Amino acid sequence: MKSQPDYITALDLPVPAHHELSDEFQKYFAVCEEKLGMVPNVLKAYSQNAAQLDVFSRLYNELMFGESGLSNLEKEMIAVAVSSSNSCYYCQVAHGAAVREYSGEPKLGELMVMNYRVAELSDRHRAMLDFSVKLTESPNEILEADRQALRDVGFSDRDIWDIANIAGFYNMTNRVASAVDMQPNPEYHSQSR
């Protein structure tokens, strides 16, 4: 792995400079800088293909911030559990930081990254994460009983749809990030500790 601070991926991608982006993406990256204090490396990597960046960022924002019966914390917990199951370093670091932020509990963020099964979780959260990890590790084994287990702890069918989409999204991004050795921004490591 390269060690320079601007290392994004192992690929030599034609990542454009901020001023070379379209006005729309310059504004989007400025919002990231303002809210996060950085532009996440995943967005920088996707910026080398404007159409992919557009689709990726729209789907991400809809899944993670769109209207849903799931809280922002629950969405991030799914991201971390799936990413932990897939051993995706980038997403474990980035979304582990988000769990620390949303929960206000640094220990929960660490437990989620290491092994959510040992964390003190509500029945709702445990069922949600068990479903997400099963969908990650053995999707062909998902049965009606798995969906019913979610309903039994208060999830609606729409919530189950959202859980499945978030888990599916992170399975995709985990594979891309792992394939190209995408590195998390250094800022993530110290956030919300």
Question: In CATH, what number is assigned to the domain containing residue 40?
Answer: 1.20.5.810
pLDDT of residue 5: 53
Question: Residues 124-166: pLDDT tens digits?
Answer: 999 999 999 999 999 999 999 999 999 999 999 999 999 999 9
Domain shared by 79 and 53, yes or no: no
CA distances from 170 to 24, 80, 106 (A): 25, 9, 22
Kindly state the tokens that stand for 65: 């911030």
- The pTM of this model reads 0.94
- 3-class secondary-structure state, position 16: coil
Q: Which helix (H) or strand (E) holds 41?
A: helix 41-46
Q: Give the chain's domain count.
A: 2
Mapped onto helix, strand or coil, the DSSP state of residue 81 is helix
Residue type at 97 in one-letter notation: A
Least confident of 58-62, 106-110, 125-129, 159-163: 106-110
Q: Based on the domain organization, do 27 and 90 belong to the same domain? A: no
Instruction: Write out the residue range of the structural domain in which residue 174 sits.
Output: 72-190
Q: What is the dihedral of CA 134, 9, 56, 146, to 10 degrees?
A: 0
**Mean model confidence pLDDT for the chain:** 94
- Residue 46's nearest CA partner among 76, 31, 25 is 25
Average pLDDT over residues 179-183: 96
pLDDT above 80 (res 193):
no
| Contacts of residue 20, Cβ cutoff 8 Å, sequence gap at least 6 | none
| Count of CA atoms in the C-beta half-sphere (13 A) of 100 | 18
